[in-house]
């Protein structure tokens, strides 16, 4: 895995963690599209890898199933997880200083932009 890829995956983790801390969206809303759009993952691999980094609290059986089918990149999940922890903390700091109305608008905007990107994306 190249240094550029490692830095990119870490950045995905920070971004996902940040928005999770900021507006409470799940990591998959950011990480799955990022792995597909920026790292060339296919949908199953992106979903399985994202589940792998979320395993401690939930999803162990789902991850095991994806892993058995070859749809989990463990190294990618670990790198994103480290960034996610840092980004989550930074996002929560930002969210505390933002009004509820502004936070709701940021949340909606992120979902709309990502939804449009995923809808028009062709692999």
pLDDT at position 79: 92
Supply the pTM of this predicted model.
Answer: 0.66
Domain boundaries, the chain: 3-120
pLDDT at position 65: 87
Q: Which residue has the tokens 């950045």?
A: 11
- pLDDT tens-digit map of 58-99: 667 777 888 999 999 999 989 988 998 898 889 888 888 888
85-115 burial by CB neighbour count: b if 16+ within 10 A, else e?
Answer: eebbeebeeebeeeeeeebeebbeebeeebe
| Average pLDDT taken over every residue of the chain | 86
């Amino acid at each position: 895995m190249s240094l550029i890829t490692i830095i990119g995956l870490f950045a995905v983790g920070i971004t996902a963690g940040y928005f999770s801390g900021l507006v409470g969206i799940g990591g998959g809303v950011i990480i799955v599209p990022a792995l597909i759009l920026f790292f060339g993952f296919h949908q199953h691999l992106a979903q399985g890898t994202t589940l792998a980094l979320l395993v401690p609290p939930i999803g162990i059986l789902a991850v095991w199933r994806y892993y058995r089918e070859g749809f989990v990149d463990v190294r990618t999940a670990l790198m994103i997880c480290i960034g996610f922890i840092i980004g989550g903390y930074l996002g929560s700091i930002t969210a505390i200083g933002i009004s509820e109305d502004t936070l709701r608008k940021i949340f909606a905007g992120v979902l709309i932009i990502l939804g449009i990107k995923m809808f028009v994306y062709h692999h």
